[in-house]
Amino acid sequence: MSQELLKGMNPQQAEAVTTTEGPLLIMAGAGSGKTRVLTHRVAHLIQDQKVAPWRILAITFTNKAAREMKERIADLIGVTDANRVWISTFHAMAVRMLRRDIDKLGYKRDFTIIDAGAQRTLVKRILKDQNVDIEKFDPRSVLSAISNAKNAMETPVGYAKTANDIFSKIVAKAYAAYQKQLELAQSVDFDDLIMLTIELLEQEPEVLAYYQDKFEYIHVDEYQDTNDAQYRLIQLLAAGWKNLAVVGDSDQSIYGWRGANLEIILNFEKDYLGAKKVLLEQNYRSTQIILNAANDVIANNHGRISKNLWTDNGDGEKITYHRSNSDRDEAVYILGEITNQVKNKNRQYRDFAILYRANAQSRGIEEALVKANIPYTMVGGSKFYERKEIRDILAYLSLITNPADDESFLRVVNEPKRGLGDTSIIKLRAFASEHNWPLLEAAANAHLMNDLQSRAQNKLMDFAILMQKLIQQEQFDVSITDLTRAVYQETKYVETLKVSPTPENENRLENLDEFLTVTEQFDKNYEPDEDSVSKYVDFMSELALVSDIDNVDQEDNNVTLMTLHAAKGLEFPVVFLVGMEESIFPSFRAIIDPKQLDEERRLAYVGITRAKEKLYLTNAYSRMLYGKMSNNMASRFIDEISPKYLDMSAAGQLDSYQAREASLPFARRFQPATGTTFQGRPVGQREPNNRNLTSSRQIHQAPNPDNLEQSVSWSVGDLVTHKKWGTGTVVKVNGLGEDMELDVAFESQGIKRLLAAFAPIKKQE
């Protein structure tokens, strides 16, 4: 055993590295060095156990993580062996397998992977063809339902059998048509990549046996984020050697909304009897106070594998809690803190991250940064590969590599403008369907369309000739860069933009120039693997698998703005968690759904543990969001942090009632009501810094005789009827008798705090 590989590791990390045989669950807390453990484990297998690199599979969830893993392994054992290890995302692995054997399922090996924009366009067109009111049934919702069905491994036929309401029946019909269109176009979507790989392995015993034998050791990172389809794929691959090591953290499972199944990691030891479990609890990233806050918050969740993060980094600074009068004041406060620390603490802008629950919250902060002339990067905002001009060029390239790609054809047949109207395209689609041809082939035969004017026929045939010329360029094996330049020139795309030099078109031209940087980098670094179809197919596959997080460059000296979901896997010296308010974080839906609330709390845990040295929690009395002014109580997640870890000196101005509350000992202010429980745990901390209180101290009114006479007892989850606001759900209970306060979530009003004895409410039995 090479002691060099274990140098500096704690006992638990060393145990995880050296436990190589059989199933292994590595429960790795935030910042506990899991990437180091994974990379050193792979190095140990190759260097000490003499395992062939190509017999090792390591699956991550982002390209960025895969690149980092490969680089670290290369540092340990050299580039040659590191390149021979299969290190990829789930989807990249599936693409590689499908490129090799998808022809066994009736697809061509040069299939196209359609992007999210093309998916939405296709579903929208299908719904219109099926006379569905897209104002009532949002195409995005339908597409999301189709995606969830695929992640649950439901085929169109299987989904239709269980469709028992109007929406699911619409989805079932759209799903069937959607899948048929993809198959005709020799295209797959992201979810198909996993689903088709499973289908391939289950239907082709020889293919399954090949991969089961090949992958003697399998590693899966971020196991808590796997969905049912990914779980099944790993189960199939690991059934051969059973040397499966999974790394994850049940407390960081934050993707339930897109199909991640927390039960998968919780049931690992049941699925793989005799599995060994190693807990990584020592954190190398954050200060102890930040970790204590994270531990406090997550302890309120149920259904978790308990652990307690600790560090040798020292206690560090207290967490600053600031409550502003408005969201604008909140942004000003944040900018003031950043400016002060850059000036007085020698920090750089890249040290700061501003994290929020929803993208819509970024607008005010972004405006303030612009006015303050502070450089920033917004992750998940205007994405490079989703800009119109880039999507247009990608559609041309996709149509070149796969002439059956009807979605790409429809995107570019009239881009730049060629004088083809909607009626001509509708007739072309009908003509193609009649002959069972792809649209490009139909366009080449447009002279056979008797119901189309000769002018339109000629334009369609001219387009087909243009595309054939570009397809021939590919067949001459030119570089990706030269092929892209040919597209720019032959289609007159760049020329058209130059003719009208508006600021918008100038920006588009700059983006097209930047795209050539992407192609040049690919050409320079391209090395085909044993399963490659062509460099053109590999290039399109690589771009299809790019995610937002892959483009985060923490070396740029910019403040980073991003959602909490996007921040997973990253770390910053200083983190601002903004908008920490009930109905925002946690979201309104989560407040009335215990399962969603647990996931929101895990999201808070993720956000807190992104901070290395300093953490700020901010919110506001009033906030303009989604075109509506709201007054929200401070987030319960702040209440759940012990006051000894919070610096309240920047909490903001308090009114007289709040000042009285603030003067009370924290233990009393935050003490839950006796006997009040929520899923077996105490609930109902009092909110000290909130103006939206309805209390006897503010409003002098007589008790509600109905509530007093009935001696109503209240619990979290009770339904109430309010004379003005309608039906609501009790989400928090505090106090006893006439002093009992209820936090009630109303659909139209958000959360309101009411005195149970005085409010015009009735309990629904």
Q: For residue 497, what are its two tokens? A: 């933009």
The answer to the question of whether 152 is labelled as a binding residue is no
The answer on whether 569 is annotated among ligand-binding residues is: no
Please tell me the chain's helix, strand, coil percentages from 3-state DSSP, rounded to the nearest 5: 50, 15, 35
Question: 247 with 218: CB under 8 angstroms?
Answer: no
Question: Of 34, 350, 357, 535, which is the active-site residue?
Answer: 34
Residue 245: which H helix or E strand, with range? strand 244-248
Q: What are the counts of helices (DSSP H) followed by strands (DSSP E) for the chain?
A: 34, 23
Residue 35: active-site member: yes
Active site residue 34: yes
Q: Does the annotation count 568 as an active-site position?
A: no
Q: How far apart are CA 100 and CA 103, in angstroms?
A: 8
d(CA 407, CA 397): 12
Where residue 96 falls (left for φ over 0; alpha for ψ -120 to 50; beta otherwise) is alpha
Which of 283, 271, 215 lies closest to 42, judged by CA? 215
Residue 35 marked ligand-binding: yes
Q: Which of 549, 564, 552 is nearest to 606 (CA)?
A: 564
User: Tokens representing 680?
Assistant: 């077996």
- Find out whether 680 is annotated in a ligand binding site: no
Gap between the Cα atoms of 762 and 75, Å rounded = 67
Residue 659 DSSP symbol: H
- ∠ CA 272-275-278, nearest 5°, is 135
Of 222, 330, 406, 687, which one is the catalytic site residue? Answer: 222
Both tokens of 200, joined, read: 């391939």
State the Cα–Cα distance between residues 406 and 652, nearest whole angstrom.
Answer: 58
419 is in an annotated binding site: no
Cα 521 to Cα 74, 352, 489, 515: the distances in Å are 20, 30, 21, 10
Residue 31 assigned to a binding site: yes
Contacts of 744 (CB under 8 A, 6+ apart): 720, 722, 728, 729, 730, 731, 751, 752, 753, 754, 761
Catalytic residue among 221, 351, 405, 581: 221
Question: Helix or strand or coil: residue 179?
Answer: helix
Q: Considering 18, 35, 155, 671, which one is annotated as catalytic?
A: 35
Query: Interior CA angle at 16 toward 12 and 22, to 5°?
Result: 140
Tell whether 30 is in a known binding site: yes
Which one of 70, 232, 391, 610 is the catalytic residue?
610
Give the C-alpha separation, 156 to 126, whole Å. Answer: 15
Residue 284 burial (CB count, 10 A)? 13
Choose the catalytic residue: 252, 377, 401, 560.
252
Q: How big is the chain by its Cα radius of gyration, in Å?
A: 29
User: Is there a cis peptide before residue 586, judged by omega within 30 degrees of 0?
Assistant: yes
Runs of H (alpha helix) within 130-165: 139-151, 156-162
Distance CA 654, CA 324 (A): 10
Question: What is the distance between the alpha carbons of residues 505 and 523, in angstroms, rounded to a whole number?
Answer: 27
610 is catalytic: yes
Q: What is the DSSP string of 723-739?
A: TTTEEEEEEEEE-SGGG
Q: Is 33 annotated as a binding residue?
A: yes
CA distances from residue 25 to 2, 219, 221, 247, 738 in whole angstroms, order as listed: 23, 10, 11, 6, 51
A 10 A CB-CB count for 522 gives 17
How far is Cα 81 from Cα 70, in angstroms, rounded to an integer? Answer: 10
Q: Which residues are catalytic?
A: 34-35, 221-222, 252, 610
Residues at the annotated binding site for ATP?
Answer: 28-35
Q: Which residues are annotated as a binding site?
A: 28-35
